[in-house]
């Protein structure tokens, strides 16, 4: 009699476990996917976890590159010597947007994500025109980076120091970053905390740049529309769940 009573209970528990498992593995919890709500809200994936669609090498087009896909993430392999090294650039141009992504970096690693990149043969690098969200293993970085808060993960590299409350996770662990640009105003977030912000249209912006190393590049920070880019700094870096919503 007890066995007969317990059997339906086991069935109910098994069914509940299946429902719970399905809830835990829904697209919202998987990398490189969008929820139904995100799709309805206008979000788009810039990386599908399988190939390098939507990206190419700065000023080089779609040629064989040191970038590839590994374990569902965009991967910069510093050991590739026969393939083209260079920053990855989005195929499309963006102006007002909300960009989110996850990243992790090797011990002592250094990389970055740029906005407003001007792709033109007259520019030999992404950074000569574009502000950079720094990606860094702060704890094991070169001393010059450790001493300069505009070089820390989450900073606008060489321009705006990272806020004290924003912290990166240790190397090898995933971080979340977000960049919002609207009307020339740029805000960075690192692991859910605002880390830096700037207004490229503010009257004081040129003076601010004049006091930084970026003054060496005459067109730096003069654009509020351009490509996105991911830096190949000859360090191992991974990015995934790259999604954007145009504002």
pLDDT single digits (tens) 115-134: 999 999 999 999 999 999 99
Q: Is residue 26 pLDDT above 60, yes or no?
A: no
> What's the whole-number average pLDDT of the chain?
89
Contact between 219 and 118 (Cβ < 8 Å): yes
Burial class (CB in 10 A: 0-12, 13-18, 19+), 155: buried
Lowest mean pLDDT among 25-34, 43-52, 86-95, 202-211: 25-34
What is the C-alpha to C-alpha distance for residues 105 and 170, in angstroms, rounded to an integer?
A: 9
Question: DSSP letter at 161?
Answer: P
| Segment among 4-13, 107-116, 120-129, 218-227 with least mean pLDDT | 4-13
Domain boundaries, the chain: 1-30, 32-246
What percentage of the chain carries pLDDT values higher than 70? Answer: 86
State the distance between the two ends of the chain, measured CA to CA, in whole angstroms. 64
pLDDT of residue 8: 53
- pLDDT higher than 80, residue 154: yes
Q: Hey, which CATH number is domain 32-246, 3.30.930.10, 2.60.120.560, 1.20.140.10, 1.10.1060.10? A: 2.60.120.560
Proportion of the chain above pLDDT 90, given as a percent? 78
Query: Can you read off the two tokens belonging to residue 147?
Result: 């001493």
Q: What is the pLDDT of residue 196?
A: 99
CA within 13 Å, CB half, 53: 9
pLDDT band at 20 (very low <50, low <70, confident <90, very high): very low
């Amino acid at each position: 009699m007890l066995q007969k009573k317990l059997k339906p209970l086991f069935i109910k528990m098994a069914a509940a476990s299946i429902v719970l498992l399905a809830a835990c593995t829904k697209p919202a919890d998987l990398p490189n996917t969008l929820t139904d709500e995100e799709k309805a809200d206008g979000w788009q994936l810039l990386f599908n976890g399988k190939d390098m669609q939507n990206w190419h090498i700065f000023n080089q087009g779609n040629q064989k590159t040191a970038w590839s896909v590994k374990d569902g993430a965009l991967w910069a392999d510093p050991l590739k010597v026969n393939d083209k090294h260079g920053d990855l650039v989005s195929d499309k141009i963006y102006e007002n947007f909300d960009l989110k992504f996850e990243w992790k970096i090797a011990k002592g690693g250094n990389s970055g994500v740029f906005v407003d990149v001007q792709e033109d043969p007259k520019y030999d690098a992404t950074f000569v025109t574009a502000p950079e969200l720094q990606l860094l293993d702060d704890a094991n970085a070169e001393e010059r980076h450790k001493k300069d808060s505009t070089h820390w993960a989450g900073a606008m590299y060489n321009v705006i120091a990272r806020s004290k409350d924003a912290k990166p996770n240790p190397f090898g662990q995933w971080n979340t970053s977000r960049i919002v640009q609207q009307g020339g105003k740029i805000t960075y977030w690192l692991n859910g905390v605002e880390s830096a912000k700037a207004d490229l249209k503010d009257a004081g912006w040129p003076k601010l740049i004049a006091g930084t190393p970026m003054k060496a590049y005459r067109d730096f920070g003069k654009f509020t529309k351009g490509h996105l880019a991911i830096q190949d700094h000859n360090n191992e870096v991974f990015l995934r769940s790259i999604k954007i919503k145009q504002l």
